[in-house]
Chains A and B, each alone.
Chain A
Amino acid sequence: MSTESIAWPSTTAASPSFVDRLHEWIVTVDHKRLGILYIVYALIFLVIGGVEATVMRIQLIRPHNDFVSPEVFNRMFTMHGTTMIFFVAMPVLFGFANYLIPLMIGARDMAFPRLNAFGFWMTAFGGLLLYFSLVGANGLYGAGNAPDVGWFAYAPLTSQTFSVGHSTDFWTLALLVSGFGSISTAINIVATILCLRCPGMTLAKMPLFAWLNFVMAGLVILAVSPLTAAQIMLLLDRYLGAHFFDTQAGGSAVIWMHFFWIFGHPEVYVLVLPAFAFASEIIPVFSRKAIFGYPVMVGATVAIGFISMSVWAHHMFTVGMGANVNTFFVISTMAIAVPTGIKIFNWLATIWGGKIEFKTPMLFCIAFLFQFLIAGLTGVMMSAAPFDWQLGNSYFVVAHFHYVIVGGILFTLFAAFYYWFPKMSGKMYSEPLGKLHFWLFLIGFHLTFDFMHVPGLLGMPRRIYTYEPGRGWDTWNLIVTIGVFFQTAGILAFLGNLLWSYYRGKAAGSDPWDAWTLEWSTNSPPPAYNFAVIPTVKSRRPLWDLKHPDDPDWKYE
């Protein structure tokens, strides 16, 4: 009797049961755990969204293919777009922001830890709600059905007349719910950066990562709100007889486009600013040089933030807004190329005169620089409105924005995974597997998205489940689809690397990259309280100052 009562509590203390651990993760308000939850959640959806893309590419491998029906194809591109933007890109970037910002600014957690948990779970339930449409969209009496209105869901295709059943409602509600999650996380990021910086860290001494995410969070608050409003209006239209977008009753389809794109274009920058943030941390460390032109980089970021709010209607050059409105959106769109170009030049100048180490994170960042250059230039082509009348809604646009999102954002995201994996897990990833991932994905990316531009120039519109032979599109589509298989192999190498390294990787130590920002001054993985003593900083690179007491940064800044 007495031995049992002693043994029982000690075993639970040594290794908490699975249920207890699960419970800890579910009720956690720790920014690091929430960050990892965001990231793992996004990786699961990345696989789902990738499968959807693969289905589409198999269907388009040759003209008049019948791998899937038009209905299924339309659901696939709707779910692929919605999933990748709202349930992969945003959560994974929020995850890194959540994990890294408090560590980088020397704080112990986010400003509002419980709001943080709320934000994650709202986003998570939004994603589940979207996929529950497969079961619930037609109610109990019919087969399941996913939304099929396209990821920008133009009115009046979303009205009760054209979208019967509940698939559009699931789409609307999923975005509404996750939108509240995004806004609360954004408020949290802004508050954290403004209020919780460690002693000595003025705004001008913050890592660029924090600056870029600060502007990103501001954009989320401004851009997701109109989307949320539009979703509510759509629900009112569908269920309470409002006529905002009901063209039969005098409503306007064009108003939906404005609402959607005033969200949709800043959204591109919501995704790309964190990508810039990764590049701005990783490129200096692997070039062994301070970032070139820090104040200009901050200025360019803020400029991008402001200008990005005034370019949305370049998605609508073919809508018939008139010559004067088109002209305005041409100049505002072209203007954004200037601060973006400045960023590329500053990264180039950071590399210049450095000693580049070609570790996996740096490989992804270098590929990002080349690819983002091309993505930016194809963007400039389409900012010339008349050229866009030809290129808009064609496969050229599809290639362009995948160049931005995959070639730009996903590549830096992979860089970020490899760069911070040692910090988050305490283990080193496998460098050969990382390089294999890089080369497979690089080849796949270029096969798919370089060649995808061409059918657009040859008149192939997007969102068609099949196409006519004899248009000169066949071979290009075949190559594009072949590239997908290389990308899939790359993703498998990546996921395999994460799992293998987590269980078998070597201990990483607190600072494997000889880096300069505060997250590398604490253990890997960091303890729940982050820092035993809140650090005090004198420059943008506190760890450089520590490592080079003879030549510290604060003498020059």
Chain B
Amino acid sequence: MRPRGSTNWYVPGSQILVWGCAAATAFGDTTPSPTNIFAPVSTPAKSIFGLSLFVLAVTGAIFLVVFTLLLYSVVKFRKRKNDDGREPPQVYGSNQVELAWTVVPVLVVVALFMATARVIADVQKIARPDNAIEVIAIGHQFWWEYRYPATGVVTANELHVPVSDASHPTPTFIKLLSVDTDHSFWIPRLAGKTDLIPNHPNRMWIDPHETGVYLGQCAQYCGTQHAKMLLRVYVQSRADFDRWIQQQRQPAALADAVSPGQRVFETTACLNCHTVAGTVANGRFGPDLTHLMSRDTIAAGAAKNTPENLRQWILNPAAIKPGSLMPAMQLSDQELDALTAYLETLR
């Protein structure tokens, strides 16, 4: 068992695995997988990775031994061409042998269990430090809502968190809720998955060590469009993150005169489901659109946030995401153009 706190014992193994998986992905595709569980960048994912190397080493050793024995006995004890036709000696059992292959697996299980129990405690029994960022993630069919209670920021699908460096850890603690069915929050490079279950609040935490965009998706079947409930986590430097929070706290940047597009938005069903802070639109059923243009994707990551996609999405959501709960809005071309232009101003 490795001493507590030491983490570099698995480095050679980790190198092999990362190379292996890089090779595995290069085998089919040019870029390495952005969702590889063996490329962790956050403490929970790294703890899991360390444990997984230990478990893989133990199970790999068992596999080699038993596989070799099986192969040897199948080859060695095959019936030969020149067989004399007599039955082989009958052996009914041996208590010593049975005892040996009971005790050894028991010892292996004890070792595996102890290593596992420690990682469970390391990840699950952590108190939230005072400087932690708090986020509430709410699962919807089929998108993610994020609320930052300390600052009042509300956004959707694209989670922003600050990078956490070893000398000043700023972990993000995520409270997981669901308004409808079960979902599961899974960013393989940051942490294992935790389910979002209605009437059963959960929590998880991450402390990403490198800036960048980390991908994932819903990992618990939640209905028709479970497949396109994608996750993006933007890990930013502390300054960038603070700037993002500042910008998100502002109400919508609107012109003084009500634009034709805003009129469409506020006189059709749009406002029943969507919020644009600073206007009369305060629906909660769909994503908050106050800063829609600050997001890279729409439809929970199903499409890039471009004017064409946005227009297509309003015209016929099923073309991008069949089964999405957003209805086709039945607008005229003119209204559609105006509405798209209005949404383009929500920066």
Contacts and interface: CB of A to CB of B under 8 A. Distances in A.
Interface stretch (B5-13, B20-28, B269-277, B286-294): B20-28
B63 A377 contact: yes
Interface string B98-133: 100110011001001101110111011100000000
A71, A334, A374, most chain B CB atoms within 10 A? A334
Contact of B51 (A318, A386, A393): A386
Given A322-B124, A474-B28, A467 B227 contact: yes
A380 B52 CA distance: 11
Given A74-B224, A386-B47, A459-B36, A377 B62 contact: yes
Interface in B51-66: 51-52, 55-56, 59, 62-63, 66
B63 A373 contact: yes
Interface string B121-163: 1011100000000000000010000000000000000000000
A381 B74 CA distance: 27
B195 A320 contact: yes
Contacts of B181: 154, 156-157, 162
B83 interface: yes
Given A387-B52, A390-B48, A253 B218 contact: no
Contacts of B117: 327, 330-331
Given A338-B102, A380-B112, A289 B52 contact: no
A354 B77 CA distance: 6
A109 to B, nearest CB: 32
B265 interface: no
Contacts of A318: 184, 192-195, 219-220
Contact of B36 (A351, A354, A378, A458): A458
B322 interface: yes
Interface string A466-488: 11111111111010000000000
A331 B198 CA distance: 29
A381 B193 contact: no
B91 A289 contact: yes
B120 A385 contact: yes
A355 B92 contact: no
A526 interface: no
A69 interface: yes
A369 interface: yes
B220 A154 contact: yes
Given A162-B180, A296-B93, A326 B322 contact: no
Contacts of A390: 37, 45, 48, 52, 188, 192-193
A380 B200 CA distance: 28
Given A390-B48, A457-B21, A292 B91 contact: yes
B230 A468 contact: yes
Interface residues of B, number: 97
A290 B48 CA distance: 44
Contacts of A71: 224, 322-323
Interface stretch (A42-50, A129-137, A243-251): A243-251
A154 B78 contact: no
Contact of B193 (A251, A392, A471): A392
Contacts of A295: 93
B73 interface: yes
A515 to B, nearest CB: 12
B219 A352 contact: no
Contacts of A337: 105, 109
A293 to B, nearest CB: 4
Interface in B183-241: 184, 186, 188, 191-195, 197-200, 202-203, 215-228, 230
Contacts of B221: 74, 150, 154, 157, 462-463
A356 B323 contact: no
A113 interface: no
A461 B219 contact: yes
A294 interface: yes
Interface string A323-358: 100110011001101100110111011011111111
Contacts of B79: 355-358
A387 B200 contact: no
A464 interface: yes
B34, B37, B97, B125, most chain A CB atoms within 10 A? B37
A288 interface: yes
B192 A389 contact: yes
A320 B93 contact: no
A393 B219 contact: yes
Interface string A364-401: 00100110011001101101111111111110000000
B193 A386 contact: no
Contact of A355 (B28, B33, B88, B202): B88
Interface in A101-158: 148, 150, 154, 156-157
A457 B199 CA distance: 30
B226 A464 contact: yes
A334 B199 contact: no
Nearest to A377: B59
Contact of A254 (B37, B200, B203): B200
B71 to A, nearest CB: 8
A165 to B, nearest CB: 14
B35 interface: yes
Given A389-B194, A457-B38, A293 B63 contact: no
Contacts of A289: 88, 90-91
A161, A318, A388, most chain B CB atoms within 10 A? A318
A465 B223 CA distance: 11
A330 B120 contact: yes
A387 B48 contact: yes
B120 A471 contact: no
Interface of A: 69-71, 74, 148, 150, 154, 156-157, 161-162, 247-248, 250-254, 287-290, 292-296, 318-320, 322-323, 326-327, 330-331, 334-335, 337-338, 341-342, 344-346, 348-349, 351-358, 366, 369-370, 373-374, 377-378, 380-381, 383-394, 454, 457-476, 478, 548, 551, 553, 556-557
The 5 A-B residue pairs with the shortest CB-CB distance in the complex, in nearest-first order: A389-B192, A475-B28, A459-B35, A472-B33, A472-B25
Interface of B: 21, 24-25, 27-29, 31-38, 45, 47-48, 51-52, 55-56, 59, 62-63, 66-67, 69-70, 73-74, 77-80, 83, 87-94, 97-98, 101-102, 105-106, 109, 112-113, 115-117, 119-121, 123-125, 141, 176, 180-182, 184, 186, 188, 191-195, 197-200, 202-203, 215-228, 230, 322-323
17 contacts: A74-B224, A156-B198, A248-B199, A320-B194, A320-B197, A327-B117, A330-B120, A355-B77, A377-B63, A387-B51, A389-B194, A390-B52, A390-B193, A457-B38, A458-B21, A470-B34, A474-B28
